[in-house]
Amino acid sequence: MSRRYAILGTGAIGGYYGACLQRAGADVHFLLRSDFDVVQQQGLRIDSPEGNFVLPQVHAYQDVSTMPVCDVVVVALKTTQNHYLPQLLPGVLKQDGVVVLLQNGLNGEPRVAEIVGSDRVIGGLCFICSNKVGSGHIRHLDYKAIALGEYASDYEPKGITKRLEAIAHDFEQAGVPIQLTPDLMQARWRKLLWNIPFNGLSVVLDAFTDAMIGHPAVLTLVEDLMWEVVAIAAAYGRKLTRADIDTMISETEAMQPYRTSMKIDYDSKRPLEVEAIVGCPLQMAQAKGIPAPKLAMLYQQLLFLNHENVGEV
């Protein structure tokens, strides 16, 4: 692999994929904060049903100014940390390099594009169950595929580029299945179809996925929210269907009982990704006059619970 990778945010997502890339021979550079000392000394440790592995030595950095410039800068921060991006990205991104934003929700790429230009942004959606269980210690539980797509201004579909294929090839060499999407926003809306009801309600109802879909009233509420998302996506020209909803439900039924990432954040007293996952889609609904009362109520409830949990407004 000839491309040099930076991983900004070495947690459940960045730590796992970065470690996979390094194990497969890539030149990977990890930015850390609280875990810097441990990772500097002991490297990264990945537990996985596919086999545990340790990388005793990794390139670890505490400060982006000490990092080499990289061809691919993987942003695996929580969306709640995106206000750091103007400080982080310019120094580490090579002139002809590209940012790969591995986040949920809808407001990430435009923010990155403001900093590095809209022709240097790729978006990614991770379908993975993974947790950070200690400093430099990631537990990969299930799945790991990523959907990757080029970003263009206003999320105009941009098709599949050579650059996209090259990065996909690196990840696939590292054992990560990649699905290339010609329309990033379509992929983002489709993932929101799951994230909005399940992430949101898992916090409000203090529940795992199996309990939610196992209760008729909540299953109905999940579908009600999904239909609101379908209507909003349609207003932006992205078609989701009854079949997408059915697939989401049946895949969730087939999953192990799962604590969503938002619930993990909540239980860990970390700020919730309310804006990226719920607030931004709701704003987009309002901008087009699409009724989304249950999405609005979910947003109102999450704002309150987040505030009570971590003191943020």
Provide the annotated active-site residues.
191
Residue with tokens 């080029």: 150
Residue with tokens 């070495």: 10
Question: Which residue of 207, 226, 248, 290 would you call a contact of a copy of itself, by CB under 8 A?
Answer: 207
Residue with tokens 């203090």: 206
Chain centre to alpha carbon of residue 98 = 17
Query: Which two tokens mark 310?
Result: 């971590």
Segment 43 to 82, residues that bind a copy of itself, using CB under 8 A: none
Assess 224 for contact with a copy of itself (CB under 8 A).
yes
Per rule CB under 8 A, count of chain residues that contact a copy of itself = 25
Assess 312 for contact with a copy of itself (CB under 8 A).
no
Smallest distance, Å, CB 292 to a copy of itself? 9
DSSP state of 271: P
Distance in angstroms (rounded) separating the CA atoms of residues 187 and 305: 28
Q: Which one, of 260, 259, 298, 263, lies nearest residue 279 by Cα?
A: 298
Question: Which residue of 69, 218, 249, 264 would you call a contact of a copy of itself, by CB under 8 A?
Answer: 218
Question: Which residue of 133, 211, 235, 287 would you call a contact of a copy of itself, by CB under 8 A?
Answer: 211
Assess 212 for contact with a copy of itself (CB under 8 A).
yes
Assess 267 for contact with a copy of itself (CB under 8 A).
no
Distance in angstroms (rounded) separating the CA atoms of residues 233 and 217: 24
Segment 289 to 308, residues that bind a copy of itself, using CB under 8 A: 293-294, 296-301, 303-305, 307-308
Q: Is 125 strand, coil or helix?
A: strand
- Residue numbers of the site for a copy of itself (CB under 8 A)? 204-207, 211-212, 215, 217-218, 220-221, 224, 293-294, 296-301, 303-305, 307-308
